[in-house]
Amino acid sequence: MKRYNRLKILPLLLTIIISQRSVFAGDVNHQKEEVYLSDSIKNRITKGERDSLNIDSSLIRKIYKKNILSIINGVDTSRRIISWRLNPTSYDLEPINGIDTSVFFPHLLIPSQKHLETFTSLGNLGAPLQADHFFSRESNDFLFSRFYEVYIPSVADHKYFYVRKPLTLISYTSGGGSRIGELSLRAIHSQNVNKYLNFGLTYDHYGTKGIYKNQTTKDNFFTLFASYYKDRFSVQGTVSYSRIRNNENGGLESDYFIQDTTLEPALIPFKLTGASSEVKKKSFSGILGYAIINRWVSELDSKGSKVLIKKPVFSLKALFDASKQTRTYSDTSTSYYENYYISKGATHDSTMILLYQSTVLAEFEQLAKFPGLPGVRFWITNTSGKYYYFKPSDFLFKRKDDRITTAHFGVGIFSYSPYLSYNGSLRMYLNGYRASDKELIGQMVISPWKTEEYPYVKAKIEISDKESDIFLKNYFSNHFKWENNFEKEKRFLLGGSIGADKWRFEAGYNLVRINDFIYFDITGIPKQASGVTITSAFVQKEFKLGHFYSTNRVVWQAYDNKEAINLPTFSIFSSLFFEVELVKKVLTARIGTNVFFRTKFYADAFSPATGQFYNQKVKKIGDYPVIDAFVDFKWKRAVLFVKYDHINQGMPNNEYFSALHYPLNHRIFKFGVSWIFYD
């Protein structure tokens, strides 16, 4: 009798042990914690629920505790490395490419080059830059750091990871030797403590001594992140710090020194000495969620058996973002600028914005993975903070920061399926400096073959009526000041694309009408135009003939107000390379060339004091190809490259300018290595 009782107790003990054990193995089908159903659990699953799930009670053997793999829509859970971000517009958790382990142009070092499009910059790594394609331009909540956005992604949509084994990536590139000292470094580490909890960190550095005078850059970005998803409870958060220090040379004293002489770069005179800028950003973002109502969902396990998973139906989330951004600019110039409002001898301008944003969100999940009744989100957000720039009254009275507040109500819908996915959001601002602002954003993907490997269609729409940036309205500094009473900027945007990943093809079209468009005029001061219409089309295609490959992207743009904006009609990227597998499944090599080209246009000038690109009508820039020669290797988990940048310097001419009076670097030899440790 005692032996019989012990035998009865043994399965119970095994059940308890299994239920408390955190399973974290390599196969996705073992990523779920198995718990055998007790009679009490079976009793909570009603006959109606069993019938709706089309499952017999005898097959109700186990349930799975959910983790992040059960929440992200459209993610391939068989992958060893899974990455996602929170879309700050729609509040979707979107799967994204976390780490590119392929040989996809690792020699393209500046982040925006990965888009295979041209840009306007100051010519050196780590300096401000602006995309030439209008529809690729980033937005930023701090006017004076917006042209560093490609280096400083928003903490609110930072990448998070789920990995089967600890993951570390180290990337290092160097160029130009000790004299130029161009360097970039990227480090990522992420690991799961168990299948619910992940933490990690990233570090990025971009810097150069500069081939020309007063061109040193030092950009550093550090981020800590963590996420936890288990059953009803979820949380993720990010803390980041960035610091960008750039010397400012103000551009060439005369383009003659590039176009018509052969002076050494270190001897070429520039307009500014003793000028520098520094941008700093500290930020935190966090999300806390709890599933109040769950439902049983029947799914198939690896053996084809039906199992039950609890998934949320109704959840509440709290989101919080805090950031402090500053920019300081200093110089000792007495003749570079037209105006000196504070001091003729020296300049030390500073600006700051501190923002706190808190959101309470309610979410009804989509109930089926096919087009039909969508999921719905409702939220209310409060934003508060303060900002600062120097005012003449600061000479007489104690410095006081200006307050900033606003609140908005939002609603969003979403639906995901293998065939049709869509999401959209509407924001209505209730009070504060953005009172009566409105934003409507929507997008859709149609995939008749249930995958983007085969032809798909994407579409998007954006309608907004937005107040201008607070620093565009009022600003005072040693060299620039303005007081504006701008109307709200109104935008209507339509876009769409078709493509197929299997055929390495994509083509798209964008159209935007902006009424009361705000821009920086030829004096570097913000102005408002009655309106501008911009349209663009692009085609990207990869061709293959034997071991020869060619990747190409062409962007065409047109616009109707050339006083307010200037864009190249065509910008082109083309790469021709030979690829061969030197050691089967171990070592692959590519050797080839890249070409970036844009047609002539009035590329923007740059103001060091405000950190803004602005219109100019002095000189057209373009019709000059920038050609690189490269060799890339992929050896197991390592990617290596050697590259000769701007190998065609001086051919067909010496018109190698990026922005007005800012030349591109001379030809430079570079090398780099990227290594993934995954164990």
Query: In this structure, are residues 384 and 433 in contact, taking their beta carbons and an 8 Å threshold?
Result: no
Question: Which whole number is the average pLDDT over 228-242?
Answer: 93
- Give yes or no for residue 483 having a pLDDT over 50: yes
What pLDDT is stored for residue 4 in this prediction? 37
- Considering only 40-44, 153-157, 477-481, which range has the smallest mean pLDDT? 40-44
Rg (CA), the chain: 28
- Give yes or no for residue 249 having a pLDDT over 50: yes
d(CA 77, CA 499): 24
Query: In this predicted model, what pLDDT tens digit does every residue of 568-581 receive, in sequence order?
Result: 999 999 999 999 99
What pLDDT is stored for residue 450 in this prediction? 80
Question: Which whole number is the average pLDDT over 200-204?
Answer: 95
Q: Is the dihedral of CA 88, 91, 97, 98 positive or negative?
A: positive
What pLDDT is stored for residue 128 in this prediction? 94
With cut-offs at 50, 70 and 90, classify the pLDDT of residue 2: very low
Domain ranges of the chain: 2-65, 81-99+115-678
- Give yes or no for residue 495 having a pLDDT over 50: yes
Query: In this predicted model, what pLDDT tens digit does every residue of 404-447 receive, in sequence order?
Result: 999 999 999 999 888 889 999 999 999 999 999 999 999 999 99
3-state helix, strand, coil in the chain (%, to 5): 10, 55, 35
Kindly give, in sequence order, each residue whose CB lies less than 8 Å from that of residue 198, ignoring residues fewer than 6 positions away. Answer: 160, 161, 162, 163, 190, 191, 192, 226, 227, 228
Q: Is the dihedral of CA 469, 621, 149, 113 positive or negative?
A: positive
- Give yes or no for residue 621 having a pLDDT over 90: yes
Q: How far is CA 264 from CA 261, 279, 379, 561, in A?
A: 9, 31, 59, 40
Q: In percent, how much of the chain has pLDDT > 90? A: 66
Query: In this predicted model, what pLDDT tens digit does every residue of 280-318 receive, in sequence order?
Result: 999 999 999 999 988 877 766 556 666 677 778 899 999
In SS3 terms, 224-284 reads as EEEEEEECCEEEEEEEEEEEEEEEECCCECCCHHHHCCCCCHHHCCECCCCEEEEEEEEEE
pTM of the model: 0.88
- Give yes or no for residue 511 having a pLDDT over 70: yes
Query: In this structure, are residues 458 and 496 in contact, taking their beta carbons and an 8 Å threshold?
Result: yes
What pLDDT is stored for residue 329 in this prediction? 97
Phi, psi angle pair for 562, to nearest 5°: -80, -5
What pLDDT is stored for residue 332 in this prediction? 92
Nearest to 114 by CA among 453, 501, 594: 594
d(CA 518, CA 531): 9
What pLDDT is stored for residue 81 in this prediction? 87
- Considering only 113-117, 216-220, 367-371, which range has the smallest mean pLDDT? 367-371
d(CA 260, CA 655): 10
Kindly give, in sequence order, each residue whose CB lies less than 8 Å from that of residue 269, ignoring residues fewer than 6 positions away. Answer: 213, 252, 253, 257
DSSP conformation letters of 599-642: --B-PPEEETTTTEEE---S--B----EEEEEEEEEETTEEEEE
For residue 587, give both structure tokens. Answer: 């070592």
- Give yes or no for residue 622 having a pLDDT over 60: yes
- Considering only 54-68, 222-236, 625-639, which range has the smallest mean pLDDT? 54-68
Query: In this structure, are residues 490 and 514 in contact, taking their beta carbons and an 8 Å threshold?
Result: yes
Mean pLDDT (the chain, rounded): 86
Q: What is the architecture of the domain spanning 81-99+115-678?
A: Beta Barrel (2.40)
